[in-house]
Amino acid sequence: MNKIFTYPLIYRLIYKFGNIPVSLILLLYLPPLIITFKWEYKYIVSGLFLIAAIIFINRYFYVIAKSIAYKIETDDEKLTATQFLGSGKTVNISFDEIDKLSGGIFDGKPRGMMRIENTASNKTIAFFHSIENARILEALILSKVKKELYDAVIDKFTQKKEKVQKLIDKKKK
């Protein structure tokens, strides 16, 4: 049962180059700030905020670029991640070796980066919901991992569902 999961072109472009337009827009605020700069709080705080935002956004996209595989292949025994940005590396993780599932649906959240990890060999495969057939990939991973890991993910779902139910009940009253 070999399956291949890839991202649509628009998401590949966003994950690769999304920081460029955002950084350029933020950089447009820099020249007026420098030209009119005075040693007052509002200028110092806005300048520091602008620089921190540019650094944060570029760091976030760098982490995405390093950890997201644009192609994930599965078979009955393992996951194979390829096409990392700027790298020809390949990461293979056997379903038996997976000892940590985190982020996104694995943490009971509707969205977010999901990580499949083998901490012993320091291997990680990460993906977003925007990968084609993400639900199938998630279900496949959950069906193949160890029972303890599967139960831990289901417990997170249950806890999240109970919290949501409490909020709904609280609003009804």
> pLDDT by residue (tens digit) across 101-148?
999 989 888 888 999 999 999 999 999 999 999 999 999 999 999 999
Centre a 10 Å sphere on the Cβ of residue 89 and count the other Cβ atoms it contains. 11
Q: Are 78 and 144 in contact (CB under 8 A)?
A: no
Task: Please state, in angstroms and rounded to a whole number, the distance separating the CA atoms of residues 134 and 127.
Answer: 9
Q: Are 49 and 42 in contact (CB under 8 A)?
A: no
* DSSP character at residue 120: T
Classify residue 125 by burial, with Cβ atoms within 10 Å: 0-12, 13-18, 19+. buried
100: helix, coil or strand?
Answer: strand
Task: Please state, in angstroms and rounded to a whole number, the distance separating the CA atoms of residues 70 and 12.
Answer: 7
> pLDDT by residue (tens digit) across 60-94?
988 888 889 899 999 989 999 998 877 788 999 99
CB-based contacts of 50: which residues, under 8 Å, 6+ apart? 26, 29, 30, 33
| Residue 40: per-residue pLDDT | 82
| Domain extent listing, the chain | 1-173
Q: Are 34 and 48 in contact (CB under 8 A)?
A: no
Q: Kindly report the CA angle at 128 between 76 and 141, in degrees rounded to 5?
A: 20
What distances in angstroms separate CA 97 from CA 49, 126, 148, 154, one per listed residue? 42, 15, 13, 19
> pLDDT by residue (tens digit) across 32-64?
888 887 888 888 888 899 999 999 999 998 888
